[in-house]
């Protein structure tokens, strides 16, 4: 039985990437914000965000909290604010940074990627090759809603810097995260304890199967392809009724809190 389940896994395993950042920084993210904030609060948040951006510029990519990363994603030299509510890649937002250290309004990654109605966009951000630029993995899929999952319409590894308007990368390549099921979540993970951020994918492989799939990164490839060996070591078979556990704080393994 175990064996049967495992082989299904292989089949189901390449799916998911998710983009999700939502509630953009409760702290720094709130900088540019929302009409519901009081003026005083806004001012205070803005000041804090500017301070954090300044610190980040000096010290590199850093975290304002577990799900809000400050780093330069579009390569213009100004720090941007990347929020990933729940750390699961489904509600990711970006606030592009300006020269004065302030951040623009929150834009949803799914919109930048051009996800259509009915499609689910997921994303993960990290410096996968550890070369100093932030990179993305993105996945767009229209869930089938039945036992037979759809494959991704778009699944790519996009080495940074990415374009501010559509998150395009000159060196984008296909990723297999969306090839064999529906990616429900994409999370940064630290599976093999090296300097290259890994991916955890919550993959709906069909027929009630819901697995934690794994992509380990290398200096050459960034996130690699699915291998059964990696799955056996770091993945987990699960079901819709009994989901696998997922990493919740992968960014923390690679980025320090902003000073």
For Ca ion, the closer of residues 116 and 219 by Cβ is: 219
- Is residue 211 a contact partner of residue 183, using CB atoms and an 8 Å limit? no
Burial class, 229, CB count within 10 angstroms (exposed 0-12 / middle 13-18 / buried 19+): exposed
Q: Which residue's CB is nearer to Ca ion, number 149 or number 160? A: 160
**Least distance to Ca ion, CB of residue 174, Å:** 18
Q: How big is the CA angle at 184 (ends 178 and 187), to the nearest 5 degrees? A: 90
| Minimum distance of Ca ion from residue 2's CB (angstroms) | 27
Return the number of the residue (128 or 140) whose C-beta is nearest Ca ion.
Answer: 128
Nearest approach, Cβ of 165 to Ca ion (angstroms)?
13
> Which letter, b or e, does each residue of 110-120 get, where b requires 16 or more Cβ atoms within 10 Å of its Cβ?
bebbebeeebb
Q: Let me know: does 71 contact 82? Beta carbons within 8 Å.
A: yes
CA trace torsion 186, 206, 152, 230 (10° rounding):
50
**Looking at beta carbons, which residue is closest to Ca ion?**
133
* Residue (114 or 132) nearer to Ca ion, CB: 132
Helix (H, G, I), strand (E, B) or coil at 248: coil
Q: What is the DSSP letter of 62?
A: E
CB of residue 198 to Ca ion, shortest distance in Å: 4
C-beta closer to Ca ion: residue 74 or 211: 74
Provide the minimum distance between the beta carbon of 66 and Ca ion in the complex, in angstroms, as a whole number.
Answer: 19
For 11, 42, 106, 192, the CA distances from 39, given in Å and listed in that order, are 53, 5, 18, 46
Question: What is the contact surface with Ca ion in residues (CB under 5 A)?
Answer: 72, 74, 76, 78, 80, 97, 127, 129, 131, 133, 135, 192, 194, 196, 198
Q: Sheet with 198-206: list strands edge to edge.
A: 182-189, 198-206, 209-215
Phi, psi (5° rounding) for residue 188?
Answer: -75, 140
What is the nearest approach in angstroms of Ca ion to the Cβ of residue 88? 19
Please check whether residue 198 is in contact with residue 216, taking contact to mean a CB–CB distance below 8 angstroms: yes
Tell me whether residue 76 or residue 236 sits nearer to Ca ion (CB atom).
Answer: 76
**Least distance CB 194 / Ca ion (angstroms):** 5
Nearer to Ca ion, 44 or 249 (CB): 249
């Amino acid at each position: 039985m175990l064996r049967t389940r495992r082989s299904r896994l292989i089949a189901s395993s390449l799916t998911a990437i998710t983009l999700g950042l939502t509630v953009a920084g409760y702290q720094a993210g709130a900088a540019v914000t929302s009409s519901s904030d009081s003026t005083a609060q806004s001012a205070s948040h803005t000041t804090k965000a500017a301070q954090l951006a300044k610190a980040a510029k000096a010290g590199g990519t850093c975290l304002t909290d577990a799900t809000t990363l400050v780093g330069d994603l579009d390569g213009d030299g100004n720090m941007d604010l990347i929020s990933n509510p729940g750390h699961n890649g489904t509600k990711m937002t970006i606030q592009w940074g300006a020269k004065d250290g302030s951040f623009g309004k929150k834009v949803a990654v799914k919109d930048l990627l051009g996800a259509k109605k009915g499609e689910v966009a997921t994303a993960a951000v990290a410096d996968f090759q550890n070369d100093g630029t932030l990179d993305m993995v993105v996945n767009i899929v229209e869930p089938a809603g039945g036992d037979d999952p759809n494959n991704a319409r778009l699944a790519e590894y996009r080495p940074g810097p990415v374009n501010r308007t559509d998150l395009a990368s000159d060196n984008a390549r296909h990723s297999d995260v969306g090839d064999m099921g529906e990616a429900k979540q994409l999370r940064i993970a630290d599976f093999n304890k090296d300097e290259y951020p890994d991916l955890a994918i919550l993959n709906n492989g069909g027929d009630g199967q819901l697995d934690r799939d794994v992509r380990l990164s290398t200096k050459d490839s960034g996130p690699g392809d699915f291998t059964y060996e990696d799955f056996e070591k770091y993945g987990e078979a699960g079901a819709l009724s009994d989901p696998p556990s997922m990493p919740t704080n992968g960014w923390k393994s690679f980025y320090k809190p902003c000073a």
